[in-house]
Amino acid sequence: MKAALYREYGSPNVVHIEELPLPEVESNEVRVRVHATTVSSADSRIRAMRIPTGFKTLSRLIFGITRPKNQVLGSEFSGTIDAVGPDVTQFNVGDSVFGAYEGRGTHAEYFSMAEDEAIEHLPAGFTHEEAAALPFGGLTSLIFLRDFGHIKAGQNVLVIGASGSLGSAAIQFAAHFGAEVTGVCSTKNVELVHSLGASRVIDYTQSNFADEGEHYDLIYETVGKVPFSECKKALKPGGSCLMAVAGIPDYLRMLINPIAGSKKLVTGVAIFKKESLSDLKKLMEEGAIKSVIDSIHTLTDITKAHALVDTGHKRGSVVVRVID
Give the CA dihedral 32, 15, 21, 320, nearest 10 degrees.
Answer: 20
Residues 251, 133: Cα–Cα separation, whole Å? 29
- Taking the mean position of all CA atoms in its chain, how far away is CA 291? 12
Positive or negative: CA dihedral 95, 100, 102, 107? positive
- What is the reported pLDDT for 103? 84
- What is the reported pLDDT for 81? 98
What is the CA angle 161-123-299, rounded to 5? 65
The domains found in the chain, sorted by start residue, are: 2-133+291-321 (3.90.180.10), 136-267 (3.40.50.720)
3-state SS record for 241-273: EEECCCCHHHHHHHHHHHHHCCCEEEECCCCCC
Residues 219, 200: Cα–Cα separation, whole Å? 14
Residues 29, 8: Cα–Cα separation, whole Å? 29
* pLDDT tier at 260, thresholds 50, 70, 90: low
Residue 192 Rama label (left phi>0; alpha psi -120 to 50; beta) = alpha
- What is the reported pLDDT for 259? 61
- What is the reported pLDDT for 230? 94
Nearest alpha carbon to residue 107 among 319, 269, 324: 319
Residue 275 parent element (H or E): helix 274-285
pLDDT tens, 42-91? 999 999 999 998 998 989 998 999 999 999 999 999 999 999 999 999 99
Average pLDDT of the chain is 96
**Helix, strand, or coil (residue 57):** helix
User: What is the pTM for the complete model shown?
Assistant: 0.95
Nearest alpha carbon to residue 235 among 160, 173, 176: 160
- Looking only at the bridges linking them, the beta strands covering 235-243 and 216-221 are parallel
Count, residues in the chain: 324
- What is the reported pLDDT for 258? 67
- Looking only at the bridges linking them, the beta strands covering 29-39 and 110-114 are antiparallel
> What secondary structure letter does DSSP report for 145?
I
Residue 48 parent element (H or E): helix 41-48
Confidence check: pLDDT of 324 > 80: no
**Cβ pair 189, 161 in contact under 8 A:** no
pLDDT tens, 118-152? 999 999 999 999 999 999 999 999 999 999 999 99
**Coarse DSSP helix, strand, coil percentages of the chain, rounded to the nearest 5 percent:** 30, 30, 40
Confidence check: pLDDT of 257 > 90: no
Q: Other C-beta atoms within 10 Å of 275: how many?
A: 8
